[in-house]
Amino acid sequence: MYEGLLFVVSGPSGAGKGTICKRLKDKLNIDLSVSITTREPRPGEVEGVSYYYVSKDEFTKVLDEGGFLEYALVFGNYYGTPKESVMQSLKKGRDVVLEIDIQGAMQIRKTSPDAVFIFILPPSMSELRKRITGRGSETEDAINMRLGKALKEVSYIDKYDYCVVNGELNEAVERVAAIIKAEHSRVSEDIYDLIKMYKEELPC
């Protein structure tokens, strides 16, 4: 059986990664990895859906047990991708999307070179500010910190396979969905099984 494909989605905070990934889950029936974090839940976020919220000690315990596929310190909080659930989904042949920061993405590049890396960009910095402010969960200082980091992050874009500007939401979702579908049509080792079957079917 074919394994599912692993997709990594990164981009500045507020660019719309979470919004796009949620739409993709419904549209393509893919698995979204739920990260573990030490940050506090935002209003409206749901334990086990948005994140698993843990203390620093609990995070360290999972880390020491080798339970993370990758992890990083982002804006003063720890975030990590639980290894076991991602591996199980991939083994079942399901595609998995990781919505993670660049530090985590670079770790995945080393450990899973076949993963596909997608960078989500905002249409402008003023729109990015508007989206972060609109979320209503960050102080002015935190917003400025996220905007400053956004500029640094875009310099990593050449480490990614695709970039999608999230201007009009439906258009951005369509584009990321098209990338996921196209990746399933890559010429890869798996296709030789099908070609072998053609040969077996032919009477000789």
d(CA 204, CA 184): 32
C-alpha dihedral sign at 73, 120, 148, 127: negative
| C-beta closer to ligand 5GP: residue 76 or 203 | 76
Which residue in the shown chain puts its C-beta closest to ligand 5GP? Answer: 104
- The pattern of x and - marking residues 126 through 155 that bind ligand ADP according to CB under 6 A reads -----x--xx--------------------
The values of phi and psi at residue 175, to 5°, are: -65, -45
Partner that binds at residue 96, options ligand ADP, ligand 5GP, none, CB closer than 5 to 8 Å by kind: none
Shortest Cβ 120–ligand ADP spacing (Å)? 6
Structure tokens at 30: 């893919």
| C-beta closer to ligand ADP: residue 109 or 135 | 135
The residues that bridge with 121 in the sheet, in sequence order, are: 165
CA 103 to chain centre: 12
Residue 49 as a binder of ligand ADP (CB under 6 A): the answer is: no
| C-beta closer to ligand 5GP: residue 53 or 165 | 53
Nearest to 154 by CA among 189, 85, 203, 102: 102
Task: Please identify which residue in 166, 176, 180, 183 interacts with ligand ADP, judged by CB under 6 A.
Answer: 166
Residues in CB range of 204: below 8 A, 6 or more apart: none
Residue 23 as a binder of ligand ADP (CB under 6 A): the answer is: no
| C-beta closer to ligand 5GP: residue 4 or 80 | 80
d(CA 144, CA 25): 31
| Interaction site with ligand ADP (CB under 6 A) | 11, 13-19, 131, 134-135, 166, 169, 172
